[in-house]
Amino acid sequence: MGLSAKVFVVLLLLLVATEEQGGSVQVALARDCESDSHKFHGACFSDTNCAYVCQTEGFTAGKCVGVQRHCHCTKDC
């Protein structure tokens, strides 16, 4: 094995060892589950009212969306 190959192997081993010691921490982000509200009827003009209705359906949040202004609920999956 030539000198350049040995240097490459040593650098590769150092890189692997360094990565295992102080590698970056990866955080898994929660995905959002989304659904149209089943209890909200009519046009949606108040995000507060939409969010309240969504909470009664087991969601954590809700807002008025779209051109036709319907209530859209969200929660962490």
The model scores a pTM over 0.75: no
Which one of 3.40.50.2300, 3.30.30.10, 3.40.50.720, 1.10.760.10 gives the CATH number of domain 31-77? 3.30.30.10
Please say if the pLDDT value at position 75 is more than 90: yes
Contact between 33 and 76 under an 8 Å Cβ cutoff? The reply is yes
Residues of the chain above pLDDT 70, percent: 71
Confidence band, pLDDT 50/70/90 cuts, at residue 9: confident
